[in-house]
Amino acid sequence: MLTIIYPSDSSTKFLLEIPEFLISNFPDDINFILLDESTDYIAIHGIIENINDGEVILFLGHGSSNCLYGSPHPSNEKSEFLSKDKLSILNNKNFFCLSCNSYEFIKRNKKFTTIINAVGFGDLPTDWVEIVNAREFDNNAYPGITADIVAEFSSILVELHKLTFRDYFHRNLLAS
């Protein structure tokens, strides 16, 4: 079983292709959790904590070195979904976190959990606005990167993860 957690956010909507693909190909093997601004995070933490040991959790959303974010509030302010204080809900599970700075978040806080395996990432510039904003502070930020390159990167990122998890299911089905 793969549990996918997706905080609804217009800036990460392109990531929905991943769960849509996986659900259409492996409907009995996916537990999809959609977070929105009215979601009770404490209840979701309880669901995650009760996922069987050894299973995989895939988080698709925004992150930082301090936390993973849920859906933004109506004011577009980010809301904290998972911090070091709540990491124990991932004990004895495998965690794949497709969010910016999730590698640093996991590395910095691994002492607070007994995650079996974890994959995280650094900066994932998947929105042209992010590049433009970075260049407002530093003219040399992301040299040579264009809007077309950002769009292609986002597309490749989605395809890579769709195929990675497809192969994960194929291997597990063959091993059963």
Domain range summary for the chain, segments of one domain joined by +: 2-124
Q: How does pLDDT run along the chain (176 residues), one tens digit per residue?
A: 999 999 999 999 999 999 999 999 999 999 999 999 889 999 999 999 999 999 999 999 999 999 999 998 877 788 999 999 999 999 999 999 999 999 999 999 988 899 999 999 999 999 999 899 999 999 999 999 999 999 999 999 999 999 999 998 888 755 54
Q: 2: which strand partners?
A: 30, 56
Q: Give the amino acid at 168.
A: Y
Q: 159: which strand partners?
A: none
Q: 3: which strand partners?
A: 31, 57
CA dist 87 and 148 (Å) reads 37
For residue 152, the surrounding DSSP H or E stretch is: helix 147-175
CA dist 81 and 44 (Å) reads 9
Coil, strand or helix: which one is 132? helix
Global model pTM greater than 0.75? yes
What CATH code would you report for 2-124? Answer: 3.40.50
Closest CA to 1 of 21, 23, 20: 23
Closest CA to 151 of 112, 115, 113, 125: 125
